Amino acid sequence: MDRPMDLHYSDAQEALRSEARAWLADHAPAPRSLPSLDTAEGFEAHREWEAEMYADRWSVVSWPEEFGGRGVGILEWLVFEEEYWRAQAPLRVSQNGVFLLAPTLFEFGTPAQKARFLPPMASATEIWCQGWSEPDAGSDLAGIRSRARRSDTEGGWILSGQKTWASRGAFAEWCFGLFRSDPEAERHRGLTYFLVDMATPGVTVRPIPQIDGETGFAELFFEDVYVPDDLVLGEVGKGWSVAMATAGSERGLSLRSPARYSCAADRLVDLYARTREHDPARAARSADSVAQAWMDAEAYRLNTLWTATRVLGGGSVGPEASANKIHWSQTDLAIHRTALDLLGPEAELHGDGVDAPWLDGYLFALAGPIYAGTNEIQRNVVAERMLGLPRG
Amino acid sequence: MNFSFTEQQLEFRDAVRQVLAKECTTDDVRAAYDAPVARTSRWATLAELGVTGLTVPEAHGGLGLGMVDLVPLIEEAGRVALPEPLATTTGIAAPFLADVADSGSVGTSGARAGVWLTGIAQGDLTAAVADVRWPDLPVAGADGADLLLVVADTPDGPELHALEGSMTATAPAQSLDPTRRLGTPQWEPSAATLLLAGDTARTAIDRTADRAAVVTGAELLGLADTMIAMTAGYAKDRQQFGKPIGTFQAVKHLVAGAQVLLEFARPVVYGAAWALDQDSPDASRAASVAKSYASEAALEAARVALQVHGAIGYTWECDLHLFLKRSWALAEAWGSAAEHRARLLDSLLAER
């Protein structure tokens, strides 16, 4: 089908937008009214919110109906996200599951795994964390040393080792992790992707307070943790390619929808307009940055639609996902850094009873160039795989 | 939602790319440095292919297509640093003249516009268009142009005038890039030159500025792509410390940074072309994002290209400078990145 370029959403997509907008208006908590999802109390509050979304089939719109979704496509998901961010609805406590593991489960999972894990993921009954990085394997992910060895007595696998920087790890029920199942194999070979119940004996969680003082991630210790065979995702020894599918989602289309940045950029222009009224000189110094940040968000929106069209036409997202990750992480930082400049001496205000969305957002954005593969690693990927430069 | 080009648009683009790869080598661009001419045999070839008349209405012998169709071809022109004024003639002047021909404007302007449009489609006419903000500065492509579209500032607002024949004489001005063929029109407004006045002139000027921003942005995309490709190629070949310099992260990250900017500038320019074709209320805003993004992408590609090439890139002998100079000129033409950011912010504030 060779349709001319058209950047309008369809009538059906606009109808979905109206339905989502009305539902969110009735149900979404007031902006920033829930406690932080990186606290025990906030984690549960966010879980309840997602259960409410799930009950009316809004938590995972693009999934098939049998798993709790609406069976709609990526464009409909983007429309829903536009409304979600417009409503300033809560951050998704289930994000490591629904945005990262789920696309990987759809691609590599057995029918039994999908039936077992997707519905409780969608309802936030089970929250997932990610067990990839290790103390000595961050950017060099293929250097992981956590081991999986066969259980001689029971079949299945015995996991041992240490994972770190597991977002949501302090409170999550499940973990998806990468372990070395063949000690003889080198680097990318001999890795296996496991789904691990955090309640299994031998799993120890040590929450790590983040830069904002809250326990957004954790260290995970595995001491002879038994995992049955049916919790291997994909083939034994092929964990690297399964993990790269997850990484593609993390850097590419599914983790960070454009609406997140478009809405923040619009609020930045509002902040600029207010600042201009009471401190025109300060506003003027940031004018160029405000416009640039708005453009960066708009460019991200257009690039996402461009990519989504390619994917819907049967194309795939390759190393462009790395360019994407560089762009969204930089955009998030630019928006929030500019906002703090506009706030000036008020930028640092924080703590009990202070609502500091820009400072909180800035602290969150600071992690962007680090997680999901540092931006330096992404630049290597862009140079080597998009432009053919030789590996160092 | 279908944010892509059609097969037909891509096939046309590929055909033009093939022709230009043959007909517009860097040797050809160098020849144009020595003897800048508006209409060449290459221009005739583009006319035969229907490229010069792409946006000319069918009634006047063109293909009657829009900005979305044109932008990929202008990108190809940028890719080879095409010396001829395709962006100006087909991307800026022709759509403007088509509006005039449609609008039953002052006197015989409509009929004259039709004649010029036919000339553009047949490859007999190149046009240069003055930027309304700088009515007295040299105009790109004016030296040797068959038609000059210029602006007169009057107490009642700007007027658009057309100069042809003996009136197209210009005072020469030199550009760092001689293919820019700069010239300052030497003219006096008269009833004979008047094309549009009043509100229609104002509207036409605004639309022209938006179109110019988008097609110039498209040309910058092509230039950036070539500079990045040349640079990646050089980094693969050039050996230092016993290995290609492209193995060093300091080099990789420079090139990757430029590539990321280009990747994101492309859909921005394409989306702005679509908004123009739709007469979208957001078209001006989209045009500003497009020009700003494309200018930044090309300037960064130019900076990185020169840095990675090192001293050889600083020579006349190396082809890189042909692309650098065009990029530097076009980055400022029809509004710099910063000017368009300011314009965008004004527009965002106006709706609040």
Whether the per-residue pLDDT at B52 is higher than 60: the answer is: yes
Of A264, A325, A78, A261, the C-alpha closest to B263 is: A325
CATH number at residue B209: 1.20.140.10
B270 CB neighbours in chain A (<8 A) are 5, 302, 306
Whether A330 and A369 have beta carbons less than 8 Å apart is answered as yes
* Average pLDDT score over residue span B207-225: 98
- Positive or negative CA dihedral for B36, B37, B41, B44? positive
DSSP category for residue A155: S
Helices (H), A109-155: 111-122
CATH number at residue A167: 2.40.110.10
DSSP category for residue A184: T
Dist CA B113 CA A322 (whole Å): 49
Whether A94 and A50 have beta carbons less than 8 Å apart is answered as yes
> Shortest CB distance from B247 goes to which of A310, A378, A391?
A391
A271 and A155 in a single domain? The answer is: no
> How far apart are the CA of B248 and the nearest CA of chain A, in angstroms?
6
The tokens for A131 are 């067990």
> Shortest CB distance from B271 goes to which of A7, A273, A376?
A7
The pLDDT value recorded for residue B322 is 98
How many structural domains compose chain B?
1
* B306 lies in some domain: yes
Provide φ and ψ at A125, rounded to 5°: -70, -35
A217 and A334 in a single domain? The answer is: no
* A54 lies in some domain: yes
Across chain B, what does the average pLDDT equal? 95
Does the beta-carbon distance from B236 to A390 stay under 8 Å?
yes
Dist CA B269 CA B225 (whole Å): 14
pLDDT tens, position by position, A356-369: 999 999 999 999 99
* A355 lies in some domain: yes
State the DSSP H helix or E strand holding residue A293, giving kind and residue range, or none if neither: helix A280-312
- Sequence-ordered list of residues with C-beta below 8 angstroms from that of B236, at least 6 positions apart, any chain: A388, A389, A390, B244, B246
Dist CA A96 CA A249 (whole Å): 10
| Chain A interface disruption, residue of B2, B240, B255, B300, most A CBs within 10 A | B2
End position of a domain, from candidates A192, A208, A238: A238
* B217 lies in some domain: yes
Does the beta-carbon distance from A294 to B348 stay under 8 Å?
yes
A264 and A217 in a single domain? The answer is: no
Q: By 3-state DSSP, what share of chain B in percent is helix, strand and coil, each rounded to 5?
A: 60, 10, 30
* A226 lies in some domain: yes
Dist CA A380 CA B251 (whole Å): 10
Whether B164 and B147 have beta carbons less than 8 Å apart is answered as yes
Whether A222 and A174 have beta carbons less than 8 Å apart is answered as no
Whether A47 and A38 have beta carbons less than 8 Å apart is answered as no
CATH number at residue A277: 1.20.140.10
How many structural domains compose chain A?
3
End position of a domain, from candidates A175, A208, A238: A238
A82 and A137 in a single domain? The answer is: no
| Residue B254 domain boundaries | 205-350
* B125 lies in some domain: no
- Which residue out of A250, A298, A376, A384 is catalytically annotated? A250
A261 CB neighbours in chain B (<8 A) are none
A230 and A273 in a single domain? The answer is: no
Whether the per-residue pLDDT at B105 is higher than 60: the answer is: no
* A144 lies in some domain: yes
B338 CB neighbours in chain A (<8 A) are 288
A268 and A220 in a single domain? The answer is: no
At B52, the amino acid letter reads T
> How far apart are the CA of A6 and the nearest CA of chain B, in angstroms?
5
pLDDT tens, position by position, B183-204: 999 999 998 899 999 998 999 9
DSSP category for residue A42: H
Residue of chain B nearest A73, judged by CA positions? B1
Q: Which residues pair with A160 in a beta bridge?
A: A147
A375 and A263 in a single domain? The answer is: yes
| Residue A178 domain boundaries | 128-238
A133 and A41 in a single domain? The answer is: no
Q: Which stretches of chain A score pLDDT less than 70?
A: 1
A234 and A261 in a single domain? The answer is: no
Q: Is A250 a catalytic residue?
A: yes
Q: Which residue has the tokens 């416009």?
A: A291
At B177, the amino acid letter reads D
3-class secondary structure, B351: coil
A306 CB neighbours in chain B (<8 A) are 3-4, 266-267, 270
A78 and A154 in a single domain? The answer is: no
The tokens for B256 are 């990757």
The tokens for A333 are 């930082």
* Average pLDDT score over residue span B213-222: 98
A331 and A363 in a single domain? The answer is: yes
* A102 lies in some domain: no
* B303 lies in some domain: yes
Q: Which residues pair with B147 in a beta bridge?
A: B127, B164
Beta-sheet pairing, A232-233 with A191-197: antiparallel
Of B55, B88, B50, the C-alpha closest to B208 is: B88
* B331 lies in some domain: yes
Q: How confident is the model at residue B106 (pLDDT cuts 50, 70, 90)?
A: low
A357 and A268 in a single domain? The answer is: yes
* B337 lies in some domain: yes
3-class secondary structure, B325: helix
Length of chain A: 392
The pLDDT value recorded for residue B104 is 60
Of A324, A322, A336, A331, the C-alpha closest to A373 is: A322
Does the beta-carbon distance from B244 to A390 stay under 8 Å?
yes
The pLDDT value recorded for residue A216 is 87
Dist CA A97 CA A105 (whole Å): 10
Beta-sheet pairing, B147-154 with B127-129: parallel
Of A254, A257, A211, A218, the C-alpha closest to A361 is: A211
CA–CA distances in Å: residue B139 to residues B150, B171, B184, B281: 9, 10, 6, 29
B345 CB neighbours in chain A (<8 A) are 269, 272, 287, 290-291, 294
CA–CA distances in Å: residue A96 to residues A70, A79, A250, B137: 20, 21, 9, 57
